[in-house]
Amino acid sequence: MKIAKKKINVGVGFVTGRKNFKNVVKAYFDDWTESRLVDNKKNALHLFVAYDLKYKGTKVSDYKVTDEEILDMVDSAYYLGNSSIATEAQYLVEKKVITLKEAKLIFGEGYAMKRNAVLYFAIKNKMDYLIFLDDDEYPIANIKIKDSLLWKGQEVISTHINNIKHADMTHGHHCGYISPIPYLDFNDKLSEDEFRIFIESISNDIINWASVKSIMDDGGVTYADLDTMNSEITEVVEEVNGMKFISGANLGFNLKTIDKIFPFYNPPGARGEDTFLSTCIAEANIRKVPCYTFHDGFSNYEHLLLGVLPNQLKAMKADSNVNTKRFLKATIGWIRYKPLLLYITQRDNYEAEIMKMRENLTLVLPKICAYFGNNEFKNILNELEFYHDHVEEHYQDFENTKEAWAKVVKHLNK
């Protein structure tokens, strides 16, 4: 008699706060059923959803999946609100696995902490793999061939499953509106060189001028590469300046090697949780896999989830108040985590880099305010000074988060 082979348990994780969440889930699971890359019957899918009711004023029912077709596909679903996360954190404190202060570092308020909750519950519930997806990224790729725009569905979940067994983490590609920087027409108010100085002052090694300029030349849109998505070859992600760059979604974890998994972290009120994770994984085997997700960075293309495919993608111009506010919010988020990133990766040059940023921002921020017609961009300097003043405190929190996570992993290993 043949013994049935144990199924591979795959967690599909979301940190979400948008009302269109259920449509996003349906798109990914429809993609899963159509996949030709893996034998779906050998894999059991489990849904992990950490939701934020405050972000867009949503309610719990916006996240509870009721679609019978999807429910038939998943073996289990876990919905992680503040209450369930706090209860689990309290359990770990009562068991003396971690202290209350450590529990707040791992599971407290913030985007990184919700990612940690998904990661924790996936490990606790014996997942073999976990794939993080975002609620503003869709399993479809936009391709530019001459003057034509083509669309191609992406087998995201199955591509990660097909490759994760050979790696500690897998990371896919991104297309669409991956940058929050709107399209700019340079003029007397703001020159290209002045905007370059601004971007170089606030950016990390991913959002840098070379990549921004390339995207802006295409109207702010990133197009998928047809050769990349048709390839069966995975690329090894190399270390650059002490980091192996990943993004927080279209990201797979091999949970069979949890000793190589680190927590997400960001300074209070900042983002960059994927960037700081990138500083921890220099020894891990990270593979870039051939699948794309379309990043709907300005929330203008939710109709893609309903099968409506536009013939062209419009440039997101700075003449929109909504686009300007989104760009302002992004720049504040970047500047809040840049001091810590510099402190980790360029400790010897840290003070000189901060001084250079301060000087350059003092020079160009009046131009930025005038161009966008928004004086709130001046706050970027105040944000820089605050996060610079607290960089050692944030660095210690980051180190303490990693130490606390190691205790949690040791507990789960038992």
406: CATH: 3.90.550.10
Q: Tell me whether residue 261 is in a domain.
A: yes
Domain housing 38: 8-182+207-315+396-413
pLDDT confidence of residue 403: 98
Q: Tell me whether residue 273 is in a domain.
A: yes
Strands 169-176 and 251-254: antiparallel
Q: Tell me whether residue 263 is in a domain.
A: yes
- Residue among 28, 286, 11, 23 nearest 161 (CA): 11
pLDDT confidence of residue 206: 61
What's the pTM value of the predicted model, to 2 decimals? 0.95
Q: Tell me whether residue 376 is in a domain.
A: no
Number of independent structural domains in the chain = 1
Q: What are phi and psi of 48, to 5 degrees?
A: -125, 115
Place of tokens 């407290």: 108
Q: Tell me whether residue 153 is in a domain.
A: yes
pLDDT confidence of residue 207: 65
Q: How far apart are the first and last CA of the chain?
A: 33
Collect the ranges in the chain with pLDDT lower than 50. Answer: 1-4
Residue 232: both structure tokens together: 């069966």
Q: Tell me whether residue 193 is in a domain.
A: no
Residue 311: both structure tokens together: 């013939």
pLDDT confidence of residue 90: 97
pLDDT confidence of residue 3: 43
Q: Tell me whether residue 95 is in a domain.
A: yes
Neighbouring CB atoms inside 10 A of 93's CB total 16
Query: 130-142 burial, b for 16+ CB within 10 Å, e for fewer?
Result: bbbbbbbbbbbbb
Q: Tell me whether residue 363 is in a domain.
A: no
Amino acid making up residue 235: E
Query: CA-to-CA distance for 67 and 26, rounded, in angstroms?
Result: 8
